[in-house]
Structure 1
């Protein structure tokens, strides 16, 4: 649970971080930014920083050697938490230098790098300090209208950052230091180099095993089972596939706790399909090297995020015709017309709306 309603912005710094291999500059700020407490500017900045973080997953800093002290960002954060008043500018500069050193792929965009120190964040019920790291890369064009003294309007084009579109961000929470701090990462649907360098090279994070993590893993397992096993290659038609995905999502949406026996009996139902699902689960755990537990608390946030990955549409002829399957898949029949040499669906229904 994240609650930023009472959060206080105590320190904020800005640095310009370019792409190192493109020979763009690193320009370090020497002084903190001055934002008036309670001003519209400060409120806009806080919305820009924190709103996207609420949808993010939680991680820990880590190092493949097992020694957390070898993770540079963990060290910078620990020193900043220990003495935020004296260490803020120095550690924010160290973080900017570290980011610049990891901006080595030609597709990585330069931009403004903000470091903020926040108090009174509520994370999982605890009131804690946090360090916010935010990067803006993409600029948009805006039209600005201003009045002149003689009553004639003046129109200008300006370039700036859309405060509703944060490119990259994370919140380092002063909690669980022995495990590598809680780190909340802004959700990014992209799997590109530009998105991954922030998480894997700059921050070096590993997933924190919590309800969000376990729920997300199991929903990914369900989707993978339908795509790889419960499919046309095994004589399972599209309506049946979508129905299983819908019932899986319905189970996770309505329950507070997951139980594998209950899930298999209520959602999968058929013994042969349950056996195939169990076999796939074993392969899934080995392939992705992630734990898949039989019981855990369900995260509504993870369910909400995963909904967009669960497709409920049957697309025909490149999407020219689409059938949305929300349930009652037994009322949809597929066939083949020999005269027309075409497939067809028959849909049965009680009334039209």
Structure 2
């Protein structure tokens, strides 16, 4: 994760990226964008806040040779000579335009920013940010007119959340630099990271932790919930989270023993699902890795542990205590009503 307390904007350009197939042309900035002190602080937080909790690290790549990755080269040039920033930002704009061919890709504004003093893993580095703004919102502007306040309807973008962004850190140039990437407007999964930036995951403990938890979550949704029921799914997720919480290292064999137990059918299904997941997502799982606690805590919050029923009832389980929750909920079938039911055990109601 990055720390931006000392970070500052050194240079910024603002372009508009068009759409190649629709023949919407770029609007190219010929000069750097001037910044006031207030605008500088607002933009810095808008650009960087979304990356503060981002743990997944990428690096530039190319199927033939890294030196053929355009965006990597433009960033590398700026890190070596900051005076090339304006030209590099224009080249980055053109590279994005060349990939803007899918019908769903939207016209948007492109900020290219040079930052200084970003802290990453006890290093202070400079970075290049590439941010595309796509979603526009209507808002009212109040104007002090001759006869009192007037309203004017305008279009703009929200500064609460980035649409698409990449933060290129000046680290490990020889192996493709290090990149954090965000895509909150994911209409074409390949457009931003694969086609434009040409990124691949950095296969480290963070990545292994993230992907193993993603594997377990998907397996619980696709296989356990469908074949074994919600009660078994809750038990599996509880055991999974407990294992990650209690063990500084994940050993693949010990995980299966503790979480799946002696259920050979479930173990076989997990191994098969893991193999399919690896192939589909191009992930090479390690036999053991150090559990990255920040990644684990972030993923744990996102795991949905609720049971939705067709009788307008929703049972929400505490994902911090899933194992205990699973022991105190019981599923059955009522022969009289011809309906399924859940029975919940408790000592007292909590406020």
Conserved 8 A contact 1:146-1:153: yes
TM superposition shift of 1:250: 3.8
Report whether the alignment pairs 1:40 with 2:33. no
Equivalent residue for 1:63?
Answer: 62
Q: How many residues align?
A: 343
Contact 1:239 1:314 in 2 (8 A): no
Aligned equivalents of 2:18 and 2:128: distance in 1?
A: 22
Give how far 1:90 is off.
0.6
The aligned counterpart of 1:320 is: 312
Aligned to 1:303: 296
Where do 1:141-290 residues align within 5 Å? Answer: 141-148=138-145, 152-186=148-182, 188=184, 192-193=187-188, 195-233=189-227, 236-253=228-245, 255-270=247-262, 272=264, 273=266, 277-278=270-271, 280-290=273-283
Return the alpha-carbon distance in structure 2 between the equivalents of residues 351 and 119 of structure 1.
55
Contact 1:135 1:169 in 2 (8 A): yes
What are the residue-to-residue correspondences of 1:329-344 with 2, within 5 Å?
329-344=326-341
| C-alpha separation in 1, matches of 2:93 and 2:246 | 44
* Unpaired segments ≥5 residues, structure 2: none
Alignment partner of 2:93 out of 93, 96, 110:
96
Say if 1:11 and 1:116, in contact at 8 Å, map to a contact too.
yes
CA offset at residue 292 of structure 1? 1.3
Matched-pair contact (CA < 8 Å) for 2:256–2:267: yes
3-state SS, counterpart of residue 115 of structure 2: strand
What's 1:50 paired with?
Answer: 48
Cα-to-partner distance string for 1:220-256 (whole Å, 9 max, x where unaligned):
22123323443442xx231221221133234334554
TM-score (norm 1): 0.89
CA distance in 2, matches of 1:191, 1:139: 16
Task: Tell me how large the CA RMSD over aligned residues is.
Answer: 2.3
Q: Any runs of at least 4 consecutive aligned residues in structure 1 with deviations exceeding 4 A, and if so which?
A: 253-256, 273-276
Q: Which runs of 5 or more structure 1 residues have no equivalent in the other structure?
A: none
Separation in structure 2 between the aligned mates of residue 142 and residue 32 of structure 1, nearest angstrom:
28
Deviation at 1:169, TM superposition (A): 0.4
Taking structure 2 as the reference length, what is the TM-score of the superposition? 0.89
Q: 1:286/1:92 Cα in 2 relative to 1: closer, same or farther (>3 Å)?
A: closer
Deviation of 1:218 (Å): 0.6
Report the 3-state secondary structure (helix = DSSP H, G, I; strand = E; otherwise coil) of the residue aligned with 2:190: helix
The equivalent of 1:4 in structure 2 is 4
Equivalent position SS for 2:224: coil
Distance 1:249 1:121 in 2: 32
Residues 13 and 112 in structure 2, CA contact (< 8 A), matched pair in contact too: yes
Q: Matched residue of 1:134: which SS?
A: strand
